[in-house]
Amino acid sequence: MSPRIGVITFPGTLDDVDAARAVRYGGAQPVALWHADDDLHGVDAVVIPGGFSYGDYLRAGAIAAHQPVLRAVVDAAGRGMPVLGICNGFQILCEAGLLPGALMRNVGLHFVCRAQRLRVESTGTAWTSRYSPGAEIVVPLKSGEGRYVADAATLAQLADEGRVVFRYAGANPNGAVHDIAGIASPDGRVVGLMPHPEHAIDPLTGPSTDGLDVFRSAIDAVLPA
Amino acid sequence: MVLKPEILDPQGQAIARALPRLGFDGVHDVRQGKHFELDVADTIDDAELHRMAGELLANPVIEDWTVRRL
């Protein structure tokens, strides 16, 4: 039986349909999860997709981070369940305290929407094991608040522990510190990134199919050995 | 509520660049912040207001805040 990967929808989520499609392309069964759910319906992994949950009220991700389904995600992550936050999902994971740091308004204030080159810096996570270390991939980036920030101690810890998962290759699109596009939890099971691997799974609709291995990696991570 | 001093504030910088265009000279820096007005019961003390700020109203990673009673 193929693994079941939950995809959470909040009011204002936009990319849940594409995320579910990416899960399916990767070979798993997508399971729709709703913001008011207080359990995860027995899924093996969870994707928190992008969009503008709760209209970005207060701060991007701040309201979603306190909804019932996120409490269930935090509990599950504590038990090692793979969790991926994409764009607004990354902002939610930071607001919920599952990942350190914060995402802020882009330097230059412009919303950036483009096919973005990324370097895979860590293949030791549940979501990147299929990539070669240092691989360059191209996936869409579409965000106005994508500038990753963290204090110096946190940045040093992320670097020392190999928890910077993706960096922007070429010109930094948003002013993110150390070109950081994505990071992981200490156990490598929780990953957040601003760019959108779920939009890069089919040559018909994306700039590449480079994003597919994110979802295949997670399937590898949850299949019984 | 205002961004910590070490956090870059591009919106504040854009405001600082706009003011001279309106003829306001002598502004060296602008930091943009947020202001919340809470109508609360008398039983809510300052410590609880700070907890509200730290857990929801502000993001302690990037923002500092003060609490003032009116």
Nearest in space to A182 (alpha carbons), one of A220, A225, A126: A126
Residue A93 dihedral angles phi and psi, to the nearest 5°: -65, -35
Residues A140, A222, A69, A155: is their CA dihedral positive or negative?
negative
- Residue among B2, B59, B63 with most chain A CBs within 10 A, to mutate: B59
Judge whether residue A200 has pLDDT over 80: yes
Judge whether residue A225 has pLDDT over 90: no
CATH class of B2-64: alpha beta
Count the alpha carbons within 13 Å of A12 in the hemisphere toward its beta carbon.
Answer: 14
Q: A160-183, pLDDT tens digit by residue? A: 999 999 999 999 999 999 999 999
Question: Do residues A215 and A25 lie in contact, with contact meaning Cβ atoms separated by under 8 Å?
Answer: yes
Distances (CA, A) of A168 to A119, A137, A162, A183: 6, 10, 16, 12
CATH class of A4-222: alpha beta
* % of chain A residues with pLDDT over 70: 100
Residue of B nearest to A66 (CA): B56
Residue A16 C-alpha, separation from nearest chain B C-alpha, in angstroms: 25
Judge whether residue B13 has pLDDT over 80: yes
Judge whether residue A100 has pLDDT over 70: yes
Interaxial angle between packed helices A16-26 and A212-222, expressed in degrees from 0 to 180 and rounded to the nearest 10:
60
User: A6 - beta bridge partners?
Assistant: A31, A46
Contact across the interface for A62 and B11, Cβ inside 8 Å: no
Contact across the interface for B62 and A109, Cβ inside 8 Å: no
- Mean pLDDT, rounded, for A100-122: 96
- Mean pLDDT, rounded, for A15-29: 98
Judge whether residue A142 has pLDDT over 70: yes
Domain extent listing, chain B = 2-64
DSSP secondary structure letter of residue A132: P
Contact across the interface for B61 and A94, Cβ inside 8 Å: yes
- Residue among B1, B8, B34, B38 with most chain A CBs within 10 A, to mutate: B8
Judge whether residue A1 has pLDDT over 80: no
User: A143 - beta bridge partners?
Assistant: A112
**pLDDT value, residue B21:** 93
- Is the CB of B23 inside 8 Å of chain A's CB atoms? no
Distances (CA, A) of A143 to A133, A150, A223: 26, 18, 33
Judge whether residue A224 has pLDDT over 90: no
- Mean pLDDT, rounded, for B11-34: 94
**Cα gap A88→A145, rounded to integer Å:** 9
- Mean pLDDT, rounded, for A134-160: 97
Three-state SS at A24: helix
Structure tokens at A45: 């992994």
